[in-house]
Each structure stands twice: as structure tokens, then as C-alpha cells.
Amino acid sequence: MPRFTYHKHRPNLWEDLDLNELVNAMSDFLLGSGFGEPADGDNRASQEELKEAILNALMTSNLLPDEDLQRLFESDQTLNEFLEKVIERLMQEGFIQPSQNGTGSMDESDAQGEAGGAGPPVKFELSEKGTDFLGYRALRDLMGALGKSAMGSHDTQDLATGVEASGPSKPYEFGDTLNLDVSETLLNTIRRTRSLETDEQGGLDVDYQDLVVRQTEYRSSCATVVMLDCSHSMILYGEDRFTPAKKVALALSHLLRTQYPGDSLRIVLFHDSAEEIPLSMLGRVKVGPHYTNTREGLRVAQRILARERKDMKQIVMVTDGKPTALTLDDGRIYRNPFGLDPKVIGLTLKEVINCRRQNIMINTFMLARDYELVAFVAKVSELTRGKAYFTSPYDLGEAVLMDFLKKKRNRVTH
């Protein structure tokens, strides 16, 4: 009689790997800001760099049991095959993609490398799905640290008519959402017509004056511009300050899209100059050039907010340095890295005053505490009635989200 020996089924390790947890463990690498790298380095990852990052994530997390890790290291061929299959899965699942040029197609040199030609090896970058996923995980981690389980819209003291009924009823006025309080409307009709005869069918003659609508809390909308300092100091002094700042921006974006659909979020980078970038490109941004043109960042942010039709407008500025540069009228960049240049500070504060005139609040999150920066930020907060937070890369996310999620009780002017 034949005998059979049964073993637990073990799928291929690359098929059994949880890609969500792997991408989360590789977040610092995928959102790399240039920390520990040459200035102006390539912001794309080669296949070998990607393999090394995957290996580091496996070694520093519990994604695979120890016995499976030992199996991988039994031979270089087994390990290399595993890493190549994982990269293939990451691409198939849409977390990463071959690097693309400005036209949206793969670089010719990359295509040659992928085809095994004489060109350089293919480079990889974070995809839009990967960026969105890291924003979700960053938000989940930050909200867990804050102890929050649910989030809502920005509360105000005003009431409006809507589908939800969370406020008292009111007589209908032209323009209100016709969310009828049926019982009160019928009672008004009965009171008005009780001394009158009803029609032949026994119905009620509801008049305009009888209408009562339910009210809901008025939810204000907010336009936010996140100004990220990407001057070279953000990766100096022994720590990476820019990668945590990028994670916060991604978390805010996911929060707005899922919990505050009426709000908007735009990203502005400021360095020697300043420019707006699509959120989908944030994961690929590295620090540089070197100086801090806060004034130009504020000017770009104001142009963006001027186009927004929102009840509230705010700038969330994350920086670790005092202003050291200006864009002159002729387009040239004026730079002074030493101290608080009166010309730089004067023109920068002028833009701060312009923000106040447009009812734009500026909340500043400082990643350094040198005297000159503190004095400048204190003046900014005073002029715009905003807030200044002393924080670090380790608790920046909690500070930004705690500020953002505070209930906004200011009355909205209709």
C-alpha cells in the first residue's frame, strides 16, 4: 500500500510577501530627499539600489519569518531571483514605475537599458498610486499617534440648509435647500386652514408661508497651500528634515480628499526661487538649490489662493531657516546667507502683510530654533494672527495635523 507524506504548502516567497507593508517599510527610501547623497544627485533609483532598499526593509522588519530569510541567503542566485520578482510585483501592482521624461514616455536611454542594450540601466521612481498609498499610511500612523478615530468637516457657528438635519427648523426662504420638515409644515397648514373648509378630496392646501425646512451645520471650506522649504539646510546638520515634511504633505492630501472633499491643497516649494508642483511629483523632489526665498514662496501661494473660492484660506509653512534670498524685478536672484538682511526681511514681511490684507492666515512650523529664525517667525505670526510651532522632524506630522484638525469656530461672513 503506497504511503504519502504531507507538508505545509509554501508559496513562492515573493508571492507571499505583503507589498503594502513592504512599501511602507521602504517609505524613507522611496521619498528620499537627498540626505547623505551628493548635492543635485539623481532622484531616480537604479535596480541595484531598489534591490538594496528591499533587502534593508526585510532585514529591519518582520515581513518574512527568520527561516524564510535564511532560505533566501542560501545562494546569491536565490536571493537575486527573489528581489527581481519583488520588483516585478511592485511594478505590476503600480507602486513604482520606470522613470519617465517630461512627455510622459520612458527615456530612450532607459528603454535601451531595459531591453538589455548598451544604454544605462533602467531607473525607477514612485508612481502616483505609490504616492497616494504612502500618504494614506502616513495619515493613519499620525492619527494613531494622536488617538483620533474619526474626523469630520470644519465646524463653524453658522447653520445652513442641507440634507443632514443637525440644527433647528426654520421657515423656508428662497434659495434654501428644500429639505422639508414635513411635520412642522403640515402643522402650519392645519393651523392656518383649521377655520376653513378643506377641498372635496379632504386634502390640505399647503401654501408657501407654511413651508419649514430643516437646518444642518454649515461646513466651511478651506484652501490650503503647503509651503515646503527645500533649501539645502533641510538635509544638513546630521538629520533629514525634508522627508518628514513630504510625508506630512502627503498625509494632509489624503485627509482632505477623504474627509474634507470641499477643501483644496496645493504644494509650493521654495529655495533660491519658488514654484508650485503637482502633488503626484512630491515623492520625487529632492532638496536644492541652497538658499531660502520665503518671499517668492509667499507670492506664489497668494497667486494660487487668489483663484480659490473658499471660506477660509491658509498657508502652512514648514521651514528650518531664515529668509536669505529674493527674486528681483528683473528676474535675478539676490542672495545673502549671513544674518537677517534688512532688504530681504523687509520685502518678505511686505508679502506677509499682503497675506493679512487678503485674510490669509500663515501657520509656521519651525524645524530649528536659532534666534534669528524665531524672531522672524514671531513677526510673521503677529502680522497674520497665525501660529508658530517649535517642532522637530520626529513630531512635525503630529503638530501639523493637530493644528489642522482643531475645530474652526470663527464665524463665516456670507
The domain 13-126 is placed in CATH, from the list 1.10.1740, 3.40.1350, 1.10.10, 3.30.70, at 1.10.10
pLDDT by residue (tens digit) across 170-202?
Answer: 787 766 666 778 888 888 888 888 755 545 556
- What is the 3-class SS of the chain, one letter each residue? CCCCCCCCCCCCHHHHCCHHHHHHHCHHHHCCCCCCCCCCCCCCEEHHHHHHHHHHHHHCCCCCCHHHHHHHCCCHHHHHHHHHHHHHHHHHCCCEEECECCCCCECHHHHHHHCCCCCCCCEEEECHHHHHHHHHHHHHHHHHHHCCCCCCCEEEEEEEECCCCCEEEEECCCCCCCCECHHHHHHHHHHHHCCCCCCCCCCCCCCHHHCEEEEEEEEECEEEEEEEECCHHHHCCCCCCHHHHHHHHHHHHHHHHHHCCCCEEEEEEECCCEEEECHHHHHHCCCCCCCCCHHHHHHHHHHHHHCCCCCEEEEEEEECCCCCEEECCCCCEEECCCCCCHHHHHHHHHHHHHHHHCCEEEEEEECCCCHHHHHHHHHHHHHHCCCEEECCCCCHHHHHHHHHHCCCCCCCCC
- pLDDT of residue 58 exceeding 80: yes
- pLDDT of residue 409 exceeding 60: no
Quote the mean pLDDT of the chain. 78
- pLDDT of residue 271 exceeding 90: yes
- pLDDT of residue 64 exceeding 80: yes
- pLDDT of residue 79 exceeding 80: yes
Q: Which is the CATH superfamily of the domain at 133-154+220-405?
A: von Willebrand factor, type A domain (3.40.50.410)
Share above pLDDT 70 across residues of the chain, in percent, rounded to a whole number:
75
Q: What is the residue extent of each domain of the chain?
A: 13-126, 133-154+220-405, 157-218
pLDDT by residue (tens digit) across 236-245?
Answer: 777 888 888 8
Predicted structure pTM score: 0.69
- pLDDT of residue 399 exceeding 80: no
> Residue 219: what pLDDT?
58
What's the mean pLDDT in 266-295?
Answer: 90
